[in-house]
A and B are shown apart, each in its own frame.
Chain A
């Protein structure tokens, strides 16, 4: 590490901090095809001419993201965008963006997300694409929501399920089990007082898992590599995304901490949404699970058990050398993960 003070480097650091990076991210063209409350369902367009090969008959791909931060991490910037990669290869890509939740949404829980948002969005995607089925991909908690959906709506309409860094089994959830225990964390009081949970609190909690790596190392790395323009570009885009959080709906937060983390109801098969038990064994579609083996936010041990819990005959577990977000934003993204998704979609698409 070279931290020798240099006036030129400091000048560059100041310029970077002043630069407005807003135009850099989420550049793949898209249109809104449905809205619900503040949520938006987008359909993406390729950024260059694509072969019409099997695109027209491929089942569309519906993406969902977590309730933490925004989904444009899947479309970070040209060349480092999972969405751009897939649409440019002829896939029909849709994204359900939860967007911002307001104070009036404090009562939104996972039951609402599954039945009132994801279910109608999936129907819209199929109708828009003229398809009777679709692939469903969820990143982080988006994958957990998709699992709930797939277990509660089993059937042929889900062509395949793709989980990326998705937490499922909270038998061991590391430091959070100490911080968020009944004894140390006033969950009900927090939700009652705050309504929705501000993104800064969630972000702080995640960063405190590795305080030096998250608070100190990034500016030092930037200083060290300030003359590397591609590194700086990546840093700015990622930094913008990290600091662009959304409020977590109060009821969903309460369910997440109490039902998923503390009681581990999803993995135990005890989670009930609108009177229906979420039985992951009812999921029979092909399942691809991609994890970052250096992920400290959702460690592989929280994802791996899904393989034994679902009823699918075809299921693949793919560990990739990366962290939680580096899986799609780091070098492993374009080199390894995007092609992995492409191959999976082709393999599980209709016969050409």
Chain B
């Protein structure tokens, strides 16, 4: 972007002003308070909707999350079994090689 340009100067000034604002302790504290407010609200909404879902005849988000977590855990177990089998297969291959070399 070309220097000595009014639009550029305006943006630069605006940028400096905003950067000094967001660098202030006041801004950080205000954002922190805003976040706390949002979290409190979200907590109330989540708890309320969970209560409603508990009595509804359909699975809740928590139920599905738990189920998905169990599937991931199962996949991890299969992964471990696969890895063990591969180690065994490698060991077996090495053993066969050794036996062949001994026979030769």
**A interface, CB within 8 angstroms of B:** 1, 3, 36-37, 102-105, 116, 120, 123, 127, 175, 178-179, 181, 183-186, 189-190, 193-194, 208-213, 216-217, 220
Contacts and interface: CB of A to CB of B under 8 A. Distances in A.
Given A185-B35, A186-B39, A3 B65 contact: no
A35 to B, nearest CB: 9
A1 B22 contact: no
A193 B32 contact: no
Nearest to A189: B39
A175 B23 contact: yes
B31 A36 contact: no
B49 interface: no
A194 B39 contact: yes
Contact of B69 (A1, A104, A217): A104
A102 B69 CA distance: 9
Contact of A216 (B11, B39, B86): B11
B97 interface: no
A220 B2 CA distance: 13
B46 interface: yes
A328 B1 CA distance: 22
Given A210-B19, A211-B19, A179 B31 contact: yes
A227 B61 CA distance: 48
Nearest to B7: A1
A224 B1 CA distance: 10
Contact of A179 (B8, B15, B28, B79): B28
B36 A37 contact: no
A178 B20 CA distance: 13
A324 B1 CA distance: 20
Interface in B14-63: 14-15, 18-19, 22-23, 25, 28-29, 31-32, 35-36, 39, 42-43, 46, 61
Contact of A193 (B19, B42, B79): B42
Contacts of A189: 36, 39
Closest 3 pairs between A and B when the two form their complex, measured CB to CB:
A104-B68, A184-B32, A212-B15
A178 B28 contact: yes
B76 interface: yes
A36 B18 contact: no
A12 to B, nearest CB: 19
Interface string B49-92: 00000000000010011101100100110010001001000000
A3 B7 contact: yes
Contacts, number: 78
B55 to A, nearest CB: 21
Contacts of A216: 11, 14
B5 interface: yes
Contacts of B7: 1, 3
Given A120-B79, A184-B31, A186-B32, A194 B42 contact: yes
Given A127-B86, A211-B19, 4 more contacts: A104-B68, A105-B72, A189-B36, A194-B39
A1 B42 contact: no
26 contacts: A1-B1, A1-B2, A1-B11, A3-B7, A103-B65, A104-B72, A175-B23, A178-B23, A178-B25, A178-B28, A179-B28, A181-B28, A185-B32, A186-B32, A186-B35, A189-B36, A190-B35, A190-B39, A193-B46, A194-B42, A208-B22, A210-B19, A211-B19, A212-B11, A212-B18, A213-B15
Contacts of B75: 36-37
Contacts of B65: 102-104
Given A1-B5, A120-B79, A184-B32, A103 B19 contact: no
A105 B65 CA distance: 9
B11 A217 contact: yes
Contacts of A181: 28
A216 B23 CA distance: 18
A36 to B, nearest CB: 7
Nearest to B70: A104
A220 B83 CA distance: 53
A125 to B, nearest CB: 14
